[in-house]
Amino acid sequence: MQKKFSIEVDCANCAAKIENAVKQLPGVKNVSVSFMAQKMLLEAEDAQFSAVLKEAVKTAKKIEPDFEIEL
């Protein structure tokens, strides 16, 4: 399953770092964070999607405390 989220991220470098870090997470098939569009695209297996998403948000917040996501 692939899903797109509206996010709030303040700097381009953080967006890139979040993308790299989330990509490393187990269960993540693909992820793309666009600083310009303020969007995140996450792809994972349907069954574990919500768990993966939770982990992704946790990782993102760790990198950028100001990271916000519309779920």
Partner 1 sequence: MTKKQKKTLRRILLAVVLSLCVFLAATFLELPWFLQLALWLVPYLVIGHDVLKKAVLGIKNGEVFDENFLMAIATVGAMACGEYGEGVAVMLFYQVGELFQSYAVGKSRRSIAALMDIRPDSANLENSDGNLSAVDPEEVAVGSVIVVRPGEKVPIDGRVLSGESSLNTAALTGESRPRTVRPGEEVISGCVNGDGLLRIETTKPYGESTVAKILELVENSSLKKAKVENFITKFARYYTPAVCFAALALAVLPPLVLGGGWVTWLLRALTFLVISCPCAVVIAIPLTFFGGIGGASRCGILVKGGNYLEALAHTGVAVFDKTGTLTKGVFAVTRLSPAPGVSEDDLLHTAALAESYSSHPISKSLREAAPDASGEVCDVQEIAGHGVKALVNGRTVLAGNAKLMEQSGVEFTPEEGAGTVVYVARDGEFLGAVLISDEEKPTARKAIAALKAQGVRTVMLTGDAPAVAEKVAEGLGLDEVHAGLLPADKVQWVETLLNSKPAGKNLTFVGDGINDAPVLMRADVGIAMGALGSDAAIEAADVVLMDDDPAKLVTAMGIARKCMAIAYENIVFALVVKALFLLLGALGIANMWWAVFADVGVMVLAVLNATRMLQVKE
User: Hey, what are 43's tokens?
Assistant: 């792809």
* Selected binder of partner 1 within 1, 3, 29, 37 (CB under 8 A): 37
* Selected binder of partner 1 within 5, 17, 23, 68 (CB under 8 A): 17
When the beta carbons of 12 and 47 are compared against partner 1, the nearer one is: 12
Q: How many residues bind partner 1 (CB under 8 A)?
A: 21
**According to the binding rule CB under 8 A, does residue 16 interact with partner 1?**
yes
User: Hey, what are 56's tokens?
Assistant: 């992704």
Among the listed residues 34, 44, 46, the one whose alpha carbon sits nearest the alpha carbon of residue 7? 34
* Selected binder of partner 1 within 23, 32, 48, 68 (CB under 8 A): 32
Neighbouring C-alpha atoms within 13 Å toward the C-beta of 63? 21
